[in-house]
Amino acid sequence: MKIVVVGIGDIGRNLIETLCRHEDNELVLIDNDEKRCEELAAEFDALVLHGDGTNPELLEKARLSEADALVATTSSDAINTVIAMLGHRMLVKKIIVKLNDVGLRAACQEIGVSKIVAPKISAAAEIVSSLHGFDRLDFSLVVRGGLHLVEMGAGAVSGRLLADLGLPEGILIVSVLRGDSVLIPRGKTMLDGNDVLLILVDGEQSLKKVRSILVDGI
Protein backbone atom coordinates (compact mmCIF):
# COMPACT_ATOMS: atom_id res chain seq x y z
CA MET A 1 0.00 0.00 0.00
CA LYS A 2 1.36 3.41 -0.94
CA ILE A 3 0.71 5.96 1.81
CA VAL A 4 1.56 9.67 1.75
CA VAL A 5 1.84 11.31 5.17
CA VAL A 6 2.00 15.11 5.38
CA GLY A 7 3.13 16.71 8.63
CA ILE A 8 5.39 14.57 10.81
CA GLY A 9 4.78 15.81 14.35
CA ASP A 10 4.24 13.49 17.32
CA ILE A 11 1.16 11.83 15.81
CA GLY A 12 2.74 11.54 12.37
CA ARG A 13 5.94 10.01 13.78
CA ASN A 14 4.03 7.45 15.84
CA LEU A 15 2.05 6.57 12.74
CA ILE A 16 5.03 6.00 10.47
CA GLU A 17 6.84 3.98 13.14
CA THR A 18 3.86 1.61 13.06
CA LEU A 19 3.49 1.64 9.27
CA CYS A 20 7.17 0.87 8.72
CA ARG A 21 6.76 -2.46 10.50
CA HIS A 22 4.77 -3.71 7.52
CA GLU A 23 7.07 -4.45 4.59
CA ASP A 24 4.32 -4.06 2.00
CA ASN A 25 3.82 -0.36 2.87
CA GLU A 26 5.47 2.20 0.60
CA LEU A 27 5.74 5.49 2.49
CA VAL A 28 6.17 9.05 1.27
CA LEU A 29 6.73 11.60 4.06
CA ILE A 30 6.33 15.35 3.58
CA ASP A 31 7.27 18.02 6.11
CA ASN A 32 8.21 21.70 5.99
CA ASP A 33 11.02 21.37 8.55
CA GLU A 34 14.28 20.67 6.72
CA LYS A 35 16.14 19.29 9.76
CA ARG A 36 13.24 16.98 10.59
CA CYS A 37 13.24 15.69 7.02
CA GLU A 38 16.95 14.88 7.27
CA GLU A 39 16.31 12.94 10.48
CA LEU A 40 13.37 11.08 8.94
CA ALA A 41 15.37 10.14 5.85
CA ALA A 42 18.12 8.69 8.04
CA GLU A 43 15.71 6.80 10.30
CA PHE A 44 13.02 5.39 8.00
CA ASP A 45 12.89 3.48 4.74
CA ALA A 46 10.75 6.05 2.99
CA LEU A 47 10.84 8.78 0.38
CA VAL A 48 11.13 12.01 2.38
CA LEU A 49 10.28 15.34 0.74
CA HIS A 50 10.91 18.75 2.27
CA GLY A 51 8.39 21.45 1.50
CA ASP A 52 4.85 22.77 1.75
CA GLY A 53 2.29 19.97 1.72
CA THR A 54 -0.24 22.25 0.04
CA ASN A 55 2.05 22.77 -2.96
CA PRO A 56 0.55 20.83 -5.90
CA GLU A 57 3.99 20.48 -7.53
CA LEU A 58 5.37 18.80 -4.40
CA LEU A 59 2.36 16.48 -4.29
CA GLU A 60 2.98 15.61 -7.92
CA LYS A 61 6.59 14.81 -7.01
CA ALA A 62 5.23 12.53 -4.28
CA ARG A 63 3.07 10.86 -6.98
CA LEU A 64 0.02 11.43 -4.80
CA SER A 65 -2.32 10.46 -7.63
CA GLU A 66 -0.88 6.92 -7.40
CA ALA A 67 -1.30 6.69 -3.61
CA ASP A 68 -3.75 4.36 -1.91
CA ALA A 69 -4.05 6.69 1.07
CA LEU A 70 -3.26 10.25 2.15
CA VAL A 71 -2.86 11.21 5.81
CA ALA A 72 -2.71 14.90 6.82
CA THR A 73 -1.39 15.36 10.35
CA THR A 74 0.10 18.86 10.39
CA SER A 75 -0.53 21.14 13.39
CA SER A 76 -2.95 23.30 11.35
CA ASP A 77 -6.57 22.26 10.75
CA ALA A 78 -6.79 24.64 7.79
CA ILE A 79 -3.69 23.18 6.12
CA ASN A 80 -4.89 19.63 6.72
CA THR A 81 -8.22 20.51 5.09
CA VAL A 82 -6.49 22.03 2.05
CA ILE A 83 -4.29 18.94 1.73
CA ALA A 84 -7.43 16.78 1.86
CA MET A 85 -9.02 18.86 -0.91
CA LEU A 86 -5.94 18.44 -3.09
CA GLY A 87 -5.96 14.70 -2.43
CA HIS A 88 -9.63 14.57 -3.38
CA ARG A 89 -8.85 16.31 -6.68
CA MET A 90 -6.12 13.76 -7.34
CA LEU A 91 -8.65 10.97 -6.74
CA VAL A 92 -6.96 9.44 -3.69
CA LYS A 93 -9.36 6.76 -2.47
CA LYS A 94 -8.69 7.03 1.26
CA ILE A 95 -8.04 10.38 2.95
CA ILE A 96 -7.49 10.68 6.69
CA VAL A 97 -7.27 14.08 8.37
CA LYS A 98 -6.37 15.17 11.88
CA LEU A 99 -8.48 18.07 13.21
CA ASN A 100 -7.83 19.68 16.57
CA ASP A 101 -11.09 21.64 16.49
CA VAL A 102 -14.53 20.90 15.04
CA GLY A 103 -14.86 23.98 12.82
CA LEU A 104 -13.70 22.35 9.57
CA ARG A 105 -15.32 18.95 10.07
CA ALA A 106 -18.20 19.78 7.72
CA ALA A 107 -15.86 20.88 4.95
CA CYS A 108 -13.83 17.68 5.26
CA GLN A 109 -16.94 15.51 5.29
CA GLU A 110 -18.34 17.26 2.19
CA ILE A 111 -15.28 16.39 0.11
CA GLY A 112 -15.47 12.76 1.18
CA VAL A 113 -12.69 12.50 3.76
CA SER A 114 -12.62 8.85 4.83
CA LYS A 115 -11.79 9.48 8.48
CA ILE A 116 -11.41 12.51 10.71
CA VAL A 117 -9.11 11.90 13.66
CA ALA A 118 -9.91 14.24 16.55
CA PRO A 119 -7.63 14.08 19.60
CA LYS A 120 -10.37 15.83 21.61
CA ILE A 121 -12.79 13.01 20.80
CA SER A 122 -10.32 10.45 22.10
CA ALA A 123 -9.87 12.54 25.22
CA ALA A 124 -13.64 12.75 25.60
CA ALA A 125 -13.94 8.95 25.50
CA GLU A 126 -11.32 8.61 28.23
CA ILE A 127 -13.02 11.25 30.39
CA VAL A 128 -16.40 9.55 30.03
CA SER A 129 -14.92 6.17 30.94
CA SER A 130 -13.32 7.70 34.04
CA LEU A 131 -16.55 9.36 35.06
CA HIS A 132 -18.28 5.98 34.87
CA GLY A 133 -15.61 4.33 37.00
CA PHE A 134 -13.50 2.61 34.34
CA ASP A 135 -9.77 3.03 33.99
CA ARG A 136 -10.19 2.98 30.23
CA LEU A 137 -12.56 1.80 27.53
CA ASP A 138 -11.75 -1.59 26.03
CA PHE A 139 -12.76 -0.98 22.42
CA SER A 140 -11.93 -4.56 21.42
CA LEU A 141 -14.79 -5.75 23.61
CA VAL A 142 -17.10 -3.17 22.05
CA VAL A 143 -16.25 -4.36 18.53
CA ARG A 144 -16.52 -8.05 19.40
CA GLY A 145 -19.92 -7.37 20.91
CA GLY A 146 -21.15 -5.95 17.60
CA LEU A 147 -21.18 -2.36 18.83
CA HIS A 148 -19.74 0.67 17.05
CA LEU A 149 -18.47 3.86 18.64
CA VAL A 150 -18.96 6.73 16.18
CA GLU A 151 -18.77 10.49 16.20
CA MET A 152 -21.19 12.83 14.44
CA GLY A 153 -21.84 16.53 14.28
CA ALA A 154 -25.13 17.94 15.56
CA GLY A 155 -25.61 20.61 12.90
CA ALA A 156 -28.92 19.28 11.57
CA VAL A 157 -30.51 19.15 15.04
CA SER A 158 -29.13 22.40 16.45
CA GLY A 159 -31.42 23.98 19.04
CA ARG A 160 -33.24 20.75 19.85
CA LEU A 161 -33.27 18.89 23.15
CA LEU A 162 -31.81 15.39 23.24
CA ALA A 163 -35.10 14.09 24.63
CA ASP A 164 -36.94 15.41 21.56
CA LEU A 165 -34.78 13.56 19.02
CA GLY A 166 -36.72 10.32 19.50
CA LEU A 167 -33.66 8.09 19.27
CA PRO A 168 -34.70 4.44 18.87
CA GLU A 169 -33.32 1.53 20.87
CA GLY A 170 -29.78 0.52 20.02
CA ILE A 171 -28.46 4.08 20.03
CA LEU A 172 -26.79 5.70 23.02
CA ILE A 173 -25.19 9.17 23.05
CA VAL A 174 -22.39 8.82 25.59
CA SER A 175 -20.91 12.33 25.49
CA VAL A 176 -21.26 15.75 23.91
CA LEU A 177 -18.07 17.58 22.94
CA ARG A 178 -18.66 21.35 23.00
CA GLY A 179 -15.57 23.42 22.37
CA ASP A 180 -13.08 22.41 25.04
CA SER A 181 -15.78 20.96 27.30
CA VAL A 182 -17.10 17.41 27.56
CA LEU A 183 -20.76 17.21 28.61
CA ILE A 184 -22.60 14.21 29.98
CA PRO A 185 -25.77 14.05 27.84
CA ARG A 186 -29.15 14.41 29.50
CA GLY A 187 -32.65 14.67 28.11
CA LYS A 188 -32.68 18.44 28.73
CA THR A 189 -29.34 18.99 26.98
CA MET A 190 -29.94 21.46 24.13
CA LEU A 191 -27.70 20.75 21.17
CA ASP A 192 -25.55 23.36 19.50
CA GLY A 193 -24.72 23.23 15.80
CA ASN A 194 -21.00 22.92 16.58
CA ASP A 195 -21.40 20.03 19.04
CA VAL A 196 -19.77 16.69 18.29
CA LEU A 197 -21.56 13.64 19.67
CA LEU A 198 -19.87 10.41 20.70
CA ILE A 199 -22.43 7.68 20.01
CA LEU A 200 -22.63 3.95 20.69
CA VAL A 201 -24.74 1.99 18.18
CA ASP A 202 -25.54 -1.73 18.07
CA GLY A 203 -25.24 -2.32 14.33
CA GLU A 204 -25.44 -0.95 10.80
CA GLN A 205 -29.20 -0.37 10.92
CA SER A 206 -28.89 1.72 14.07
CA LEU A 207 -26.01 3.61 12.47
CA LYS A 208 -28.19 4.44 9.46
CA LYS A 209 -31.01 5.59 11.75
CA VAL A 210 -28.85 7.90 13.83
CA ARG A 211 -27.22 9.29 10.69
CA SER A 212 -30.63 10.11 9.22
CA ILE A 213 -31.56 11.94 12.42
CA LEU A 214 -28.34 13.86 13.05
CA VAL A 215 -27.07 14.41 9.53
CA ASP A 216 -30.27 14.62 7.49
CA GLY A 217 -32.46 16.05 10.26
CA ILE A 218 -35.19 13.49 9.58
Q: Output the pLDDT for position 117.
A: 79
**Which residues, in sequence order, are CB contacts of 213 under 8 Å at separation 6+?**
156, 157, 165, 166, 167
- DSSP one-letter code for 21: T
DSSP secondary structure letters along 92-157: -SEEEEE-SSSTTHHHHHHTT-SEEE-HHHHHHHHHHHHHTT-SS--HHHHHHTT-EEEEEE-GGG
Q: Is-same-fold flag (2-117; 121-214)?
A: no
Task: Identify the CATH homologous superfamily for domain 121-214.
Answer: Regulator of K+ conductance, C-terminal domain (3.30.70.1450)
> What's the CATH number for 2-117?
3.40.50.720
| pLDDT of 121 | 60
Specify the pLDDT at position 39. Answer: 94
> What's the confidence (pLDDT) of residue 127?
55
How confident is the model at residue 131, as a pLDDT? 55
Q: What is the pLDDT of residue 129?
A: 56
Q: Which of 140, 200, 130 lies closest to 169 in space, CA to CA?
A: 200
pLDDT in tens, the chain (218 residues): 999 999 998 888 888 888 888 888 999 999 999 999 999 999 999 999 999 999 999 999 999 999 999 999 999 999 999 999 999 999 999 999 988 876 787 788 888 888 887 776 665 555 555 555 555 455 444 444 566 777 788 888 889 999 998 888 888 888 888 877 778 888 899 999 888 888 888 878 888 888 888 877 66
Domain residue ranges in the chain:
2-117, 121-214
